[in-house]
Amino acid sequence: MLRRAPYFFVQAVKNLHNNFGVHLIGMGTTTVSLVIFGAFLLVFVNVNAWVKGPGGSGMMSVFLEDQAGDGQLLSIREAVESIEGARIV
């Protein structure tokens, strides 16, 4: 098999030279399909990270008006503490 390697190499080079257009079209088609796949993958990964970003952290910030009284603050604190897994930092 190794004795025939030079023959196969020469035939491959001849074939590339004789059918250059066919090989160029094949390489172009492969390149375009890989670019389309890469663009799709890039968009999919970024959108997936964007969608999972805020929901995955499980954090929430609560801002109150300056006019909120002590009773309102206490009731909000109790409501937050009653939620399972919630904590006030």
Say how many residues make up the chain: 89
pLDDT class for 54, splitting at 50, 70, 90?
A: low
Evaluate if residue 1 carries a pLDDT over 90. Answer: no
What is the reported pLDDT for 44? Answer: 97
Residue 76: Cβ within 10 Å count:
14
Which pLDDT score is estimated for 63? Answer: 80
Q: Is the pLDDT of residue 28 over 90?
A: yes
Three-state SS string over 26-64 comes to HHHHHHHHHHHHHHHHHHHHHHHHHHHHHHHHCCCCCCC
Would you list the domain boundaries of the chain? 2-81
